[in-house]
Structure 1
Amino acid sequence: MSHEAISVFDMFKIGVGPSSSHTLGPWRAAQRFTSSLQRQNILQDVKSIEVLLYGSLAKTGVGHGTDVAVQLGLSGDDPVTFDVDNITAKIDDIKAMKKILLAGKHEIDFDPAEDIEFLFSESLPFHPNALTFLAKFHNDDTIAETYYSVGGGFVKKEGEDSTTTDEVVLPFPVNTADELLHWCMKTGLNVSDVVLENESSWRKEADTKAGVLNIWNTMTACIYRGCHTEGMLPGGLNVKRRGAGLNKKLMNGRSYTDYNSWLATIRQGGNDFKYILDWVSCFALAVNEENASFGRVVTAPTNGAAGVIPAVLQYYVAFCDGNSNEKIIQFLLTAAEVGSIFKKGATISAAMGGCQAEIGVSSAMAAAALTECMGGTQRQTLMAAEIAMEHHLGLTCDPIGGLVQIPCIERNTMGAIKAITACQLALQSTPDYAKVSLDGVIKTMWDTALDMNSKYKETADGGLAVNVPISLSEC
């Protein structure tokens, strides 16, 4: 059986909020389109470009910044390196000048109000998150390319053959949880060890470890920034940021100067249950408030669920024995593998599966990672992932106003706490007696996704999105 080779750096991508499927994916699609024009040596011949947004990208595109992402992608800016503080100025300039510099090289007339079209009532069959780029040339020829943002920043171009065998052949190919457990039992390796061996098919082990630590550094920078930024979130809901206020309250006047001294100060507060619970919530709030503000985040496995894994790992670092590079690497490698199994067996796209595909998957990833790092067996590690997802089944995606704010931000705090609880349950359990397997819950999640009404799949057509007045300032 062929397998899909997914790297840890596919599951954890550095990018810009607020949505991996509605922001990062369309941004990457726009980059791919301009790259395609350059490969064909026709970029300089382009006279105009029109962008068509379908389905979920149309219905919640403005709230998720899809139009912003497309413009930045067409301009040749990269989500990993572009200064997020310059996004507003760049978009305002394009709007005012009604021109865009394609791939940073070729200027054309471009009016976002006219040339980005939101097709609210149209959806393409392959995936709800579809967008088409139409380029017209000076000789009146045209070219069109359609892309699908399938969740977690992954993008597929229409017509691409996705059935071909992967170029990278992994020593331990994995499509399912049972296959992962097979390799663990056969070799005696932990999940993270299996992943590290597979990653060596792409790069040297030292490079993998350095890259994973860079992912963690990006996460901690996001947590710290979110814990020290006050104000209102953009988008019109007037949602007040709470991470900074909670951080200040928990610090209780204690001083610090940077992330490391802040972490040390957090530890000095002790291990009271309420204290730890508040900090886990604070970590998750901080990340997703940054995400909602077009900040730099890591898809984990998506932007909408970007706060769960950082919050749980920060908990492990601050209150357990996780403050070492090797433990952090172990945690993120394990989390990535569990996420990839969900992607292969179901989906990590809320537009396909509701929020169970985002918060549910991220909670399962974090639960498995924490369990392995806390000394759990391979079976307990997978059991923790199953427990976490089992209690997210059916979770809908119903963002008020199409913004990744209500209920998305608080859902990250709940996903983090559920992950820690799932870990503790698994560590105190005997997996041999478990009635539900991880593969079984993944199939159930996918069956649930297929049965779920489309209005609960990131369209803002149902749930809280239609029952809560968008003028509310507190969720």
Structure 2
Amino acid sequence: MESISIFDMLKIGVGPSSSHTLGPWRAAERWISELKSAQMFDEVVNIRVHVYGSLALTGKGHATDYAIMLGLSGTDPVEIPIKDIHAIVADIQETQILNFGNSKSISFDPKTDILFHRKFLEFHANGLQFEATLKSGKTKKNTYYSIGGGFVVVKERKNAKRNIATFNSFPFPIQKGTELLAYCQSENKSISEIVLENERSLRSDAEINEKLDHVWKTMLECMYIGCHTEGKLPGGLNVTRRAYDINKNLLYGSHVYDSPEAWLSTIRNTEVKFRQILKWVSCFALAVNEVNASLGRVVTAPTNGSAGVIPAVLMYYMVIENHEADFEHIKNFLFVAGEIGSIFKKGATISAAMGGCQAEIGVSSAMAAGALTELLGGTPEQVLMAAEIAMEHHLGLTCDPIGGLVQIPCIERNSMGAIKAINAAELALGSDPKDAKVPLDKVVETMWATAKDMSSKYKETSEGGLAIGINMSDC
């Protein structure tokens, strides 16, 4: 049984895509590590990278080439200063020299050494192969698959499950929602308490708290940056940032604050009529994905394209529902969200290239709905009911980004996913789970069946839907 930590589901990285940007970046890092382990790194004299399928079709819009260059340069997406990204890439493009692994200079021309192929590899739509020429003249090739959410594998799904190298023995191993509920009932614990016990098998409480605090602060800072940055997004669509004006108008432009935390406190003192609540939730979600679209730092939750839903719903809880909310509430929210996301990853997919946008916005909405339900006092059964409701009403959602950019319709979809999550939580809290007709596990199965039936045109290829209905020239 695949054991997935919440920190696998909630990764810190750089936008605009977890599968098309963070995944290739991590694959490049992994390749370098494997070359070093095989005593081949110092023998490398030339590099070529082949990108396949969805990675190729929307790679330029998702900055896949940037990610590959940054990964090969030995930079870390968690730590790299955002301002350095364009400078590093520009230097490689201009000099045609790559600082391979941040330790040796190699001739590298991105125009000829990163090759985009429309061909799809057999296992997954997001395939890439790294090819090194050694001093001996021999070549070393490694193929990786970016399967969504920043996860990178080298073998097909069933083998990857059997060969998990890091850990496979949670005290409460969970594959399905029914198993999670059984543990909650037998142990008389909430979902967040069960997840905490699993995490404790990997790291200390101090480490858990430190990592969760880093995740939350990254989310909050991302919302803050998005709400205080105006102008147009890069990429050619000329999309206007909206979070800035929404935030300004809701605060009436008269408040003074100098940090994300002070901003949060200020929002708590604003008017909270129904329309204002809708606007704030949308504002938080838009802010995150405007940062994501501009190669900013976000938390993959569970993907970059859906990174705005969970922060927006968590902020809703903190600024609308509970002004006394503290770090314990944040922890529990993220515990539940991460666990629900892992159930979808194990039973279906979180990759839009495999399942359409239902696998991204749908999953993130389900994660947020379940997490909010626990914080609002819901039972474990109601938590899973909320997650099911949220996903049920995202089934069949396609991924058809205009220009291959994570902007239209992706940014607005985060707003819609957040609102749906809150609605799903309220529906579940007002219902008896015994009366539910569709259990979570069935909607997971249905989502995967829908994904397999969905035309490839609607799986992050920009070959159908809005992607061909609206041309770049129209924008």
* TM-score, reference length from structure 1: 0.97
- Matching residue within 447, 450, 453 for 1:451: 453
1:433 equivalent among 412, 432, 435: 435
Q: Could you say which residue in structure 2 is the equivalent of 1:124?
A: 121
Q: Distance in 1 between matches of 2:250 and 2:261?
A: 17
In the other structure, the counterpart of 1:466 is 468
2:20 is matched with which residue?
Answer: 22
Which residue of the partner structure matches residue 397 of structure 2?
395
Alignment of 1:65-464 (within 5 A): 65-120=63-118, 122-158=119-155, 161-164=160-163, 167-257=167-257, 258-321=259-322, 323-464=325-466
- Separation of aligned partners in 2, 1:230 and 1:418: 27
Q: CA deviation at 1:118?
A: 0.4
Secondary structure in structure 1 of the residue aligned to 2:472: coil
Distance 1:76 1:420 in 2: 40
What code does the residue aligned with 1:141 have?
K
Give the Cα–Cα distance (whole angstroms) in 2 for the partners of residues 419 and 162 of structure 1.
30
Secondary structure (helix, strand or coil) at the match of 1:61 reads: coil
**Paired amino acid for 2:239:** V
Shift of 1:469: 2.4
Q: CA deviation at 1:164?
A: 3.3
CA–CA separation in structure 2 for the residues paired with 1:466 and 1:244: 30
- What SS does the aligned partner of 1:276 have? helix
* Superimposed CA distance per residue, residues 197-243 of structure 1 (whole angstroms, 9 cap, x where no aligned partner): 00011011222122112100000000000000111111111111111
- Per-residue CA deviation, residues 407-465 of structure 1 (Å, 9 max, x unaligned), is 00000000000000000000000000000000000000000000000000000000000
Contact 2:2–2:161 (8 Å) recurs in 1: no
8 A Cα contact 1:168 1:202, kept in partner: no
Shift of 1:162: 3.6
Given that 1:238 and 1:472 are in contact with CA atoms closer than 8 Å, whether structure 2 keeps it comes out as no
Question: Aligned pair in 2 of structure 1 residues 429, 162: CA closer, same or farther (>3 Å)?
Answer: closer
> Partners of 1:219 and 1:263 in 2: how far apart?
12
Checking the alignment, whether the CA contact within 8 Å between 2:373 and 2:382 is kept in structure 1 is yes
Alpha-carbon shift at residue 253 of structure 1 (Å): 2.2
Deviations 1:92-114 (A, max 9, x none): 10001001011011111000000
Shift of 1:323: 2.3
- Partner-residue secondary structure (3-state), 1:404: coil
Describe the shift of the 1:158–1:133 C-alpha distance in structure 2 as closer, same or farther (beyond 3 A).
farther
* Secondary structure at the counterpart of residue 203 of structure 1: coil
8 Å contact kept, 2:404–2:462 = yes
Q: Is the 8 A contact 2:153 2:160 kept in 1?
A: no
Q: Is the 8 A contact 2:2 2:168 kept in 1?
A: no
Which amino acid is 1:320 matched to?
Answer: E
**After alignment, is 203-212 or 16-25 more displaced?**
203-212
Partner SS, residue 60 of structure 2: helix
| CA-to-aligned-CA distance 1:71-124 (integer Å, 9 cap, x gap) | 00001000000111111111010001001011011111000000000002x110
- Structure 2: distance between partners of 1:256 and 1:262: 8
Equivalent AA in structure 2 for residue 52 of structure 1: H
RMSD, matched Cα: 1.1
1:164 corresponds to which letter in structure 2? N
Distance 1:300 1:281 in 2: 17
- TM-score calculated relative to the size of structure 2: 0.97
Select 2:2's aligned residue among 1, 4, 11: 4
Does the 8 Å CA contact 1:254/1:265 hold for their aligned counterparts?
no
Deviates more, 1:168-177 or 1:332-341: 168-177
Output the CA distance in 2 between the equivalents of 1:260 and 1:132: 43
Q: Distance in 2 between matches of 1:97 and 1:164?
A: 41
Partner SS state of residue 304, structure 1: coil
2:49 is aligned to: 51
> Number of matched residues?
470
Partner of 1:471, secondary structure, is: helix
Give the Cα separation in 2 of the matches to 1:316 and 1:251.
Answer: 18
Give 1:165 deviation, angstroms: 6.3
